[in-house]
Amino acid sequence: MVVVDLVIRDGKIVTSRDIFKAGIGVDEGKIVAVAKDANLPKASVTLDAGGNFVLPGPIDAHVHFRDPGSEHREDFETGTKAAAAGGITTVFEMPICTPAVSSADIFKRRRSILEKRAVVDFALYGGAGTHNIDKILDIADAGAIGFKTFMTTPLKEREKEFEGIFVTDDGSLFQVLETVAKTKLPSCIHAENNAVIQHMIERLRKAGRKDPMAHVESRPSFAEAVAISTVITLSEAAGARAHIVHMSTREGVQLIKSAKASGKAITVETCPQYLTLTAEVMKKMGPYAKINPPLRSMEHIEALWRGLNDGTIDIVASDHAPYTKEEKDLGWNDIWRAFSGAPQVETMLPLLLTKVNEGKLSLNKLTKITSESVAKIFGVYPKKGAIHVGSDADFVVVDLKKVQKISAEKMYSKAKDITLYDGWRVRGVPIMTLVRGTLVMKDGEVIGKPGYGDFIRPLKT
């Protein structure tokens, strides 16, 4: 009689299309059976899902743990523990660290460091900018999941963290898109028009504005619209597969919807913060709510929800960007001094599950936008993003009825002091996180060990 490593019983399995009662057999980290409980193989370990929903492991395609070089803010151990606590089984780490991932050598060194610290599986982006176009192909060969490019320029004091990740003009952006297209990987673009933003910042500063709402006004919705329009045009000309990150505007939804209708190869993500918070939060939370792009008005939130449900927006990712309380507190008297970013990886899934309970989102759509579509866009499907025989045994078990308060004190991220959601009541909670058949979180406690998480790269096609 064959005995497998693990069986999960009494679950309701969720895919992008169905929900059905079944159990799962796992052996050597892979799914070997999806069947009624009575037909499952014998197992060394059995987990009872308690009648709860079992989702394919969520993938957070946009995190900034910034390790190595910024460990005082977050490190890969605390960041991936936060992911596990939040029900995330795989993270895609952006190339901002010290030094930035602008070459294959830096990519390989970073991988070797992070492999020792990862609690969940992970992939790494390469940087693609004006100053490292000749390095892009080598970074792809080293195993990059995709490439990140900022259309905005960094502060002078932070150029080292962003070297090889930003473009200085549209000509450079076109060159980057052309080169990344040769790798067949997605070009992930931070789409805000730099000239508009710099003009607005200068205007506001001349007017003596230092208040939190000045940050919102400095990055108007049309700055995102102009940038997205540019990316649509240039990526088509370059034959590139563009992916817009953290889209935040009604105008963006309209532009992407039109581009997709005309057959353009473009995908897009938004983030929980743009689906749940308006710019009014800046008046209360000040620099803690300073993020790029900024929070916006309710009309933008409503447009994003429409875009998410009609398929214009492909995925949701957290844009987890932790800073210290001290770095954020600089902005109370002068918002320009605070860094932009907030911790999100630990709260993303509970916030989205709450929206399922509110009727804003179906559980099938949630599975699609956090798992299946992510895996397909980035070329790791069906290894990730699916409950299929042969796929990695990555799951999150969620109790959709459980009500819980988000508690900063109990969070794993080092940036818990600046979370935007402390005290929020959520309905729908991840209660078990499994990565390749190993339980890494149960009932909010992370039990996975650093070094367990595997480095993943795109599958060969």
pLDDT at 179 over 80: yes
180 is a domain residue: yes
Round to whole Å and give the CA distance between 347 and 340: 18
Over residues 371-384, the pLDDT tens digits come to: 999 999 999 999 99
Question: Mean pLDDT in the chain?
Answer: 97
Q: How far apart are CA 364 and CA 53, in angstroms?
A: 11
Q: 358 pLDDT exceeds 70? A: yes
pLDDT (average), residues 161-176:
91
Does residue 461 carry a pLDDT above 60? no
Predicted pLDDT at 1: 65
Q: What percentage of the chain reaches a pLDDT higher than 90?
A: 96
pLDDT in tens, 408-435: 999 999 999 999 999 999 999 999 999 9
Q: Are 429 and 53 spatial neighbours (Cβ–Cβ below 8 Å)?
A: no
Are 129 and 95 within 8 A, CB to CB? no
pLDDT bucket at 352, cuts 50 / 70 / 90: very high
Residue 85 has pLDDT above 60, yes or no: yes
What is the rounded average pLDDT of the residues 105-126? 98
Task: State the average pLDDT over residues 326-331.
Answer: 96
Q: Do 70 and 158 contact (CB within 8 A), yes or no? A: no
The pLDDT, as a whole number, for residue 427 is: 98
Yes or no: say if 32 and 48 are a contact pair by the CB < 8 Å rule. no
The answer to the question of residue 12 being in a domain is no
**Cβ atoms within 10 Å of 134's Cβ, excluding its own:** 9
Residue 258 reports pLDDT greater than 60: yes
pLDDT at 327: 96
Instruction: Give percent above pLDDT 70 in the chain.
Output: 98
Q: How far apart are CA 97 and CA 162, in angstroms?
A: 8
Residue 162: what pLDDT? 79
Task: Using alpha carbons, select from 138, 131, 185 the residue that is nearest to residue 153.
Answer: 131
Q: What are phi and psi of 31, to 5 degrees?
A: -75, 125
Distances (CA, A) of 17 to 31, 52, 279, 310: 19, 18, 35, 15
The predicted model gives 174-201 an average pLDDT of: 98
φ, ψ for residue 379 (rounded to 5)?
Answer: 75, 30
pLDDT of 131 strictly over 70:
yes
Q: Determine how β-strand 19-27 pairs with β-strand 242-244.
A: unpaired
For 253-283, give one letter per residue: b (16+ CB within 10 A) or e: bebbbebbeeeeebbbbbbbbbbbbbbebbe
- Looking at the domain assignment, is residue 415 inside a domain? no
Taking the CA atoms of residue 216, residue 415, residue 410 and residue 368 in that order, the dihedral angle to the nearest 10 degrees is 60
* Residues 35/49, Cβ–Cβ less than 8 Å: no
How much is the average pLDDT of 305-327? 97
Q: Give the distance from CA 385 to its chain's centroid.
A: 14
In the chain, how many H helices and how many E strands?
16, 18
- CATH code at position 315: 3.20.20.140
Residue 14 placed within a domain:
no
Containing domain of residue 163, as a range? 57-377
Range with lowest mean pLDDT among 35-39, 154-158, 229-233: 154-158
Residue 70 lies in a domain: yes
Instruction: Give the 3-state secondary structure of residue 350.
Output: helix
Q: Is the link from the previous residue into 382 a cis peptide, with omega within 30 of 0?
A: yes
Distance CA 20, CA 247 (A): 33
153 or 176: which leads in pLDDT: 176
Nearby residues of 110 by Cβ (< 8 Å), 6 or more positions away:
68, 97, 101, 124
- pLDDT digit string (tens) for 138-166? 999 999 999 999 999 887 666 667 778 99
Number of domains in the chain: 1
| The pLDDT of residue 10 is above 80 | yes
Average pLDDT of span 72-85: 97
The backbone torsions φ and ψ at residue 150, rounded to the nearest 5 degrees and listed phi first, read: -90, 135
pLDDT grade, residue 360 (50/70/90)? very high
- How are strands ordered across the β-sheet holding 90-93? 59-63, 90-93, 121-124
In a domain, 409, yes or no: no
Residue 371 covered by a domain: yes
For residues 251 and 227, the answer to whether their CB atoms sit within 8 Å is no
43 is a domain residue: no
pLDDT at 160: 67
As a whole number of angstroms, the longest Cα–Cα distance in the chain is: 78
Residue 189 near residue 243 (C-beta atoms within 8 A): yes
Q: What are the CA-CA distances from residue 343 to residues 78, 348, 378 (Å)? A: 12, 10, 23
Residues 178-187, mean pLDDT to the nearest whole number: 98
Other CB atoms within 10 Å distance of the CB of residue 222: 12
pLDDT computed for residue 370 by the predictor: 98
